[in-house]
Structure 1
């Protein structure tokens, strides 16, 4: 009885985590460049049940009853990096990547500059004249004159781009977008603000498109189905826990009562 209670509770914990993932996907269905997550579950290793009630030759001997599943557990959370649809806009500082790759942005924290990666190309020009994302992180590009990787400075110039990922300021090539990619996307880690953290980037083959944004790849219909399925599974496990609790209560308070 106690084992079945642990099994049902493990299901509750797993379903709660699944619900959090689905809710986060739905909340970001309209977030530019967002990639949906999926919670992967697996079961605990089965345990062997045995007792020594069987008597042979006047001695209690081992008696194998069978195996028992101990429920489910969280294996890992996988991100779906499938490209979302590209939507046209009328803003010069909006960029989308058609194909594999990420924009590289620089964030200054505590005097240190950290590089993060994103598919969100909803950029703007800061008060200091740099091309930044919604969080104020500076977009990185390769300076066409020096070849150095640095924050893209636009100033008051008019920006445009070409099919070679070059960024033109006042119709002159000034930078090339630093489109980074990774051989193993499982090594990428979400850090919030629609950013990823990763190591050992390689040159991405994606092509930037100006006046365009990549929509989220969240499938709302599938997520709604997942939400309803998860809620029903949670309610089922909850009812099992209540039933076991009532049975244990009767066993403790009623069975064997002397009247």
Structure 2
């Protein structure tokens, strides 16, 4: 008697374990600013064709369905779900959220470009608009040291109010990056994504134009994780894992019966 059923059940255990890891990461980041949840995608492993459909069964007849035996399952990949998270008001003038599609561009160490939905920015000692790690937001925006307030419009226009002036001074323009295939961006941690061959090259432009989202000052985008949905997925994954475990136990009992009686 073959132990192929054990192997198939083992692939099921591995796949469900990976899915549980994805769900666990989603739930762990339920409070992470701008976080986008992931979904595990499954695919079948190769099939063994014992009898091909349409093959001759006798001189005058053919098999209608044939006999194909699957060899299990595996996780094909993970897909990021880029739905909009809820906007939370913070009252901080340098907290920015994107209401719609697109990403803020940030210069990472080594000159690489990173892309993020987390707009919890601040001002460096030099007046530059930077992330919490001190990475410069692109294109660079420098506010005067004596600015009394900073206003950022929905189109990304940055205006500084200076002492003695009745109108603000334009000091820069925040731009938003869009991609032909944003789901192809690679997650690198620290809320950053990087360009890949799958995502295509970034197209920088003004917020609110060509499908890009608007900038909302004094807001941050919450994680798009739905705790209830992920808890349901967690229970479903747990049950699937238990079923595959029972399949291994059942197959083991069958093999014991064969060994004891034959």
> TM-score, normalising length from structure 1?
0.82
Counterpart-to-counterpart distance in 1, 2:44 and 2:154: 49
SS of corresponding position for 1:200: coil
Per the alignment, residue 128 of structure 2 pairs with 130
Deviation, 1:13, is 0.6
Q: How do residues 162-241 of structure 1 correspond to structure 2 at under 5 angstroms? A: 162-170=153-161, 171-198=168-195, 199-202=200-203, 203=205, 205-241=212-248
Deviation, 1:237, is 0.6
Q: How do residues 239-250 of structure 1 correspond to structure 2 at under 5 angstroms? A: 239-250=246-257
**What is the aligned-residue RMSD (CA, Å)?**
2.0
Gaps spanning 5+ residues in structure 1: where? 51-55, 57-63, 142-150
Aligned residues: 231
Deviation, 1:117, is 0.5
Per the alignment, residue 61 of structure 1 pairs with none
Counterpart-to-counterpart distance in 2, 1:173 and 1:131: 14
Per-residue CA deviations over 1:112-152 (Å, capped at 9, x if unaligned) read: 211110111111123443222233221112xxxxxxxxx32
Per the alignment, residue 152 of structure 1 pairs with 141
Counterpart-to-counterpart distance in 1, 2:98 and 2:66: 59
Counterpart-to-counterpart distance in 2, 1:233 and 1:187: 29
The yes-or-no answer on 1:43 pairing with 2:50 is: no
SS of corresponding position for 1:238: helix
Q: Which is richer in strand?
A: 1
The yes-or-no answer on 1:13 pairing with 2:2 is: no
Deviation, 1:162, is 1.6
SS of corresponding position for 2:177: strand
Gaps spanning 5+ residues in structure 2: where? 52-57, 59-64, 162-167
> TM-score, normalising length from structure 2?
0.81
Counterpart-to-counterpart distance in 2, 1:179 and 1:99: 11
Per-residue CA deviations over 1:170-225 (Å, capped at 9, x if unaligned) read: 33111111211111123211111111111411136221111011111111111000
Counterpart-to-counterpart distance in 2, 1:89 and 1:235: 44
Deviation, 1:70, is 1.3
| CA contact 1:130–1:155 (8 Å) conserved in 2 | no
SS of corresponding position for 2:112: strand
Counterpart-to-counterpart distance in 2, 1:250 and 1:193: 54
SS of corresponding position for 2:242: helix
| CA contact 2:49–2:68 (8 Å) conserved in 1 | yes
| CA contact 2:29–2:35 (8 Å) conserved in 1 | yes
Counterpart-to-counterpart distance in 2, 1:87 and 1:77: 28
